[in-house]
Structure 1
Amino acid sequence: MTELVIGVDIGTGSTKGVVATPDGQVVHTASRPHGLELPRPGWAEVDADEVWWGDVVAVTRELVDAVSAAGDVRAVKGFCVSGVGPCFLPTDDEFRPTRKAVLYGIDSRAGDEITELEGRFGADRILEVGGTPLSSQAVGPKALWVRRHEPQTWERTMRWFNSNSFVVARLTGEYVLDHHTASQCDPLYDMAAHEWYRPWCDEVVGDLAMPRLAWPHEVVGHVHAAGAEATGLPVGTPVSVGTVDAWAEAFSAGVRRPGELMLMYGSTMFFVQQVTAPQPHPMLWSTVGVLPGTSSMAAGMSTSGSLTGWVQRLTGDAPFEQLVEEAAAVAPGSDGLLVLPYFAGERTPIFDPRARGLVLGLTLTHGRAELFRAVYEGIAYGIRQILEFLDGPDSPVDRVVAVGGGTQGRLWTQIVSDVTGREQTVPAQAIGASYGDALLAAIGTGLVDPSTDWARAGRTVQPDPARRDLYDGLYEQYVGLYPATRDAMHHLAALQEDDAAGRG
């Protein structure tokens, strides 16, 4: 009987799962699409029961049924789940949500709480303890927002979860969070001690119980009877705690050594760079890595694939492949269009939840092809700006690995290489974070050594030097757009927030 492991990832737009052997062979896959809720500008939520738990149940049962049909479900020796994060999901003592989950950095509601915590603890001290400045990515301000604005919810709340830890609790009854996700829950985690920073936890979340901590690969519990009934997994199956999806995907892509960087093309754009030691930076996120003794730097844009979807809906819902083909026929520079992709505020490098999108240079001759290509190029300029922060003297970027759904069409990756001047490697097997979860489960259960790497190199994207001068000039204009329009953006954002409050 061949031993098997299952990995499941809860993404922004879908949940995906994979069954793999200890040598990385993919046996079965499954997926389930879902959405998120945007009740107000700057808010992003999800129903954790319906989406996080419901999707994992459906995907896992499909995988278990496939294993059972082909052999014996007892061959499943480990399970691991990753998901979007860091998020804030409050629950009662029985793991029942007391409100919908407040999502990661795309939810920017807690701006006032960020300002308050910086004033209370000191921005420099927060950076020193947690390695990261407070931004819309931080969990602490979101917890404080719920505590302040929804006191009735808070009275019923006893625990809190990220997406992966919520599923682990439902499967095993264990209240636990992985170290990596915890290191993004600023200002609650002490990077040096690898523990919760109790003085600030007490001030921010009060009497709320804090989950125990474990490394992503570690087995933290076993599937209990209710978890087995829901998912089809055998009772007693070892469960590893998992981590944030981007780090599980970096793990799956073989981004494991200092100097390697994963660029994830998804609904948002995310960067994970491996470094030799924590390096607090006011414009980036410094976190612990997936395995003990590892460290990473990270950055994230608030929109990427979600912005191309917006163009698709705006221009008549043409097939995506057709839009890409039309955009490929447009010359570099998009006929003088320049897009600032801050349609949901922005995380790195400006950390401004009230930033707004901008399309500059429009004329009556422009159409959807030019707009679509300009969006690709605008995101690429944002990537270049962030890479300039990541590629520092103490942590140079010497290898870029491109992953995610956006790598499947070649136009986007080519534009990014042309704009940044950087070569990108696209793995041969681009399954994603669920594949990294399966590897973590194999490591956690002792089926493979922690040094095991399942990644296999695929195609390489080379920059076209003939386009460098054009893109250098447009990039210079891009960098100047936000400072020149910030006040107007904030004025318009305030109007949008007032309108939303009136409708609410």
Structure 2
Amino acid sequence: MTRSPTILSIDLGTGGPKVALVGNDGTIVASALRPVTTIPLGPDAAEQDPEEIWSAILSAIREVLAAAGRPAEDILGISCTSQYFSIVPIDDSGHPVGPMIPWMDGRGAPFAQALYISHPETPSRWIETTGMPPLPSGNDSLSHILFLQNECPEIYERAAKLVEPADYVTSRLTGVCASNGCTAFAMLLTDNRELDSIAYHDELIRLSGVDRQKLPELVPIGSSLGPIRKEIAEEIGLSADTQVFAGVNDTHAAGIGTASHLRGHGALNIGTTCQVLAFVDDMRTDIDHFILSMPSPVPGRYMVMSEIGLGGKPLEHFLTRVVFADDGLAKHSVDDPFERVEEALGTAEPGSGGLLYLPWLAGSQSPRANPAMRGGFLNMSLETTRAHMLRAVLEGVSFSLRWALPAVEAFTNETFPFLRFSGGGAMSARWAQILADTMDRPIHQLSEPRFVNNRGTALLAFHALGRASLDET
């Protein structure tokens, strides 16, 4: 029997990596997940350990290759996607010299705000050039770099390069430290006006005060970075000829995996955070609704960046901190807090008995950016049950997406006749129905939705190899 070629896809999310071996028809041949710890350091401060991330990726790869039982020559390449607006300081060999500063960390806020004070033209200058201004909340990669530069000078000085997580992974795999228009976007230092000629912008680098030598080399989007390092190939059982492709961020991957890059198509993604996924033909910015466009791996098209805020995280928070918490009241923890969610949702009527939930546990972004926004339950009564609270959480997240959808459709000049649904949230058929009710639109719940990003990056790799078209669903 002839085996189809495959791509080894790495999706590094906030909660840890998902690794999958993906066939050229999108089949998930084998998959593995590993958790990664987020270390809370106080209000608006968090870190992750890049070595823990790397070990988790290697462990997941070994499991996938063992489960697949495929010869190494069947695996044509490695593709990578990751969370973004996160920075890893690395040395010349790609090894970390400090912790990863993830997207939820806001310790760079004072330095982002200082740009607005010292250079009043900052918002317009950045929007014109990159499509996005530095965030006063400090939740972007430029702010993280400025935080390291000003508050952690020893790490900043030791770092040969400051890279996004996807570029960290590819540098460990290949020994080549490189970024591209898709991953470098989050550093807000590139001129993105022409997709075919994305480059660092000297004036933005000067205004920010960042050392240009610490920025990774830019390669074309979709490039092969070369073969995997021989010692890594031997360690995990791959051919030393296996090509590693330049990474993309997880919104790009979800956009490709849901076929949102096709005209007239849109999607919803609910992972740790949630997004409305879509594409446009040019760089544009709706700063009032905080909807932006960023370079994409699809030739001639930009990806819409409509980050709503937390998506699946409020559900996890409710289950682990309220329902199954270990605290002074009792020990309620369970191995899988999500196991009974579908059953419990069926016991609460739509509308959750009048209970409302605000899902902004860490601020809101699109369609109204407010980092100080916070969440809560409203209209609780003596009839309120835990099932009502559970359903209200899902309804609250769904309504936040509904709030953003008209602004995204206006931004794209398109009305989506249906919406595909991806991410961990799409494992719930009841959540899909809640979204259909709130969006007043058909929701297409994708199969194996947690691995949509893996499918997306695999399709990009097959496309780069000339074995797939991006014009097909």
TM-score in terms of structure 2 length = 0.88
Q: Is the aligned partner of 1:298 residue 2:296?
A: no
Which residue pairs with 1:461 in the alignment? none
Q: Is the aligned partner of 1:363 residue 2:381?
A: yes
SS across alignment from 2:248: coil
Q: For residues 423 and 140 of structure 1, what CA distance do their matches in structure 2 show?
A: 39
SS across alignment from 2:241: coil
User: Once the 2 structures are TM-superposed, how far is the Cα of residue 248 of structure 1 from its aligned partner?
Assistant: 1.1
Which residue pairs with 1:60 in the alignment? 61
Distance 1:416 1:449, change over 3 A: closer
Instruction: Output one character per residue of 1:19-53: Cα deviation in whole Å (capped at 9) or x when no partner.
Output: 233333432222223332222122232111111x1
Q: For residues 214 and 406 of structure 2, what CA distance do their matches in structure 1 show?
A: 40
Q: For residues 214 and 65 of structure 1, what CA distance do their matches in structure 2 show?
A: 33
Question: Which structure has the higher relative contact order (CA within 8 Å, separation 6+)?
Answer: 1
Matched to 1:366, the amino acid is T
User: Once the 2 structures are TM-superposed, how far is the Cα of residue 207 of structure 1 from its aligned partner?
Assistant: 4.3
SS across alignment from 2:142: helix
Q: For residues 23 and 394 of structure 1, what CA distance do their matches in structure 2 show?
A: 29
Which residue pairs with 1:164 in the alignment? 166
Q: For residues 349 and 29 of structure 2, what CA distance do their matches in structure 1 show?
A: 42
Aligned-pair Cα RMSD in Å = 2.2
For the 8 Å contact 2:21–2:64, the answer to whether it is kept is yes
| Correspondences of 1:368-383 after superposition (within 5 Å) | 368-383=386-401
Q: 2:361 aligns with which of 343, 347, 357?
A: 343
For the 8 Å contact 1:131–1:281, the answer to whether it is kept is no
User: Once the 2 structures are TM-superposed, how far is the Cα of residue 433 of structure 1 from its aligned partner?
Assistant: 1.0
Q: Is the aligned partner of 1:197 residue 2:201?
A: yes
Q: 2:249 aligns with which of 231, 234, 244?
A: 244
Q: Is the aligned partner of 1:254 residue 2:259?
A: yes
Matched to 2:420, the amino acid is V
Instruction: Output one character per residue of 1:396-417: Cα deviation in whole Å (capped at 9) or x when no partner.
Output: 2324211112112122122222
Q: For residues 231 and 180 of structure 1, what CA distance do their matches in structure 2 show?
A: 28
| Correspondences of 1:391-430 after superposition (within 5 Å) | 391-392=409-410, 395-398=413-416, 399-430=418-449
Which residue pairs with 2:464 in the alignment? 444
Which residue pairs with 1:85 in the alignment? 84
Instruction: Output one character per residue of 1:45-67: Cα deviation in whole Å (capped at 9) or x when no partner.
Output: 2111111x112211222233345
Q: For residues 27 and 228 of structure 1, what CA distance do their matches in structure 2 show?
A: 20
Which residue pairs with 1:114 in the alignment? 112
Q: For residues 412 and 457 of structure 2, what CA distance do their matches in structure 1 show?
A: 30
| Correspondences of 1:140-151 after superposition (within 5 Å) | 140-151=142-153
User: Once the 2 structures are TM-superposed, how far is the Cα of residue 354 of structure 1 from its aligned partner?
Assistant: 2.5
Instruction: Output one character per residue of 1:464-502: Cα deviation in whole Å (capped at 9) or x when no partner.
Output: xxxxxxxxxxxxxxxxxxxxxxxxxxxxxxxxxxxxxxx
Q: For residues 108 and 363 of structure 2, what CA distance do their matches in structure 1 show?
A: 13
Q: For residues 320 and 75 of structure 1, what CA distance do their matches in structure 2 show?
A: 36
User: Once the 2 structures are TM-superposed, how far is the Cα of residue 187 of structure 1 from its aligned partner?
Assistant: 4.4
User: Once the 2 structures are TM-superposed, how far is the Cα of residue 190 of structure 1 from its aligned partner?
Assistant: 3.5
Which residue pairs with 2:452 in the alignment? 432
User: Once the 2 structures are TM-superposed, how far is the Cα of residue 364 of structure 1 from its aligned partner?
Assistant: 4.0
SS across alignment from 2:259: coil
For the 8 Å contact 1:108–1:353, the answer to whether it is kept is no
Which residue pairs with 1:17 in the alignment? 19
Q: Is the aligned partner of 1:311 residue 2:311?
A: no
* Structure 1 unmatched runs, 5+: 456-504
**% same residue:** 24
Q: For residues 287 and 345 of structure 1, what CA distance do their matches in structure 2 show?
A: 22
User: Once the 2 structures are TM-superposed, how far is the Cα of residue 170 of structure 1 from its aligned partner?
Assistant: 0.9
SS across alignment from 2:81: strand
User: Once the 2 structures are TM-superposed, how far is the Cα of residue 188 of structure 1 from its aligned partner?
Assistant: 4.2
Q: 2:31 aligns with which of 15, 18, 29?
A: 29
User: Once the 2 structures are TM-superposed, how far is the Cα of residue 219 of structure 1 from its aligned partner?
Assistant: 0.9
Q: For residues 409 and 245 of structure 1, what CA distance do their matches in structure 2 show?
A: 21
TM-score in terms of structure 1 length = 0.83
For the 8 Å contact 2:277–2:304, the answer to whether it is kept is yes
For the 8 Å contact 2:87–2:102, the answer to whether it is kept is yes
SS across alignment from 2:278: strand
Instruction: Output one character per residue of 1:121-143: Cα deviation in whole Å (capped at 9) or x when no partner.
Output: 42122111111233354211121
Q: For residues 341 and 26 of structure 2, what CA distance do their matches in structure 1 show?
A: 35
